[in-house]
Amino acid sequence: MAVLVVTGCKSLSKLTAKDHSNAKTSTASNNTGQQRSFLDQIEVTPGTAVASRHKASTTNAGKTAATGNTANTAAGGSNPPNFTGFDIERAGYLQLKYAVLMDATVEKLSNIPLLETIDRWWGTKYCLGGSSESCIDCSAFTQILMRDVYGSTLPRTSQEQYDNTTRIELEDLQEGDLVFFHTTGRKRDITHVGIYLLNNKFVHAATSGGVMISDLNDKYWQPRYRGAGRVVK
CB 66 within 8 A of CB 110: yes
Q: DSSP code of 116?
A: H
CB 220 within 8 A of CB 210: no
C-alpha dist (Å) from residue 147 to 71, 152, 186: 10, 5, 29
Q: Please, is 219 exposed, middle or buried when counting C-beta atoms within 10 Å of its C-beta (0-12, 13-18, 19+)?
A: exposed
C-alpha dist (Å) from residue 81 to 107, 110, 196: 11, 7, 17
Q: Would you say the C-alpha torsion 120, 125, 126, 130 has a positive or negative sign?
A: negative
Annotated active-site residue 192? The verdict is yes
CB 16 within 8 A of CB 207: yes
Q: Please, is 160 exposed, middle or buried when counting C-beta atoms within 10 Å of its C-beta (0-12, 13-18, 19+)?
A: middle
Annotated active-site residue 138? The verdict is yes
Angle at 98 between CA 114 and CA 232, to 5 degrees: 30
Q: Which residues are catalytic?
A: 138, 192, 204
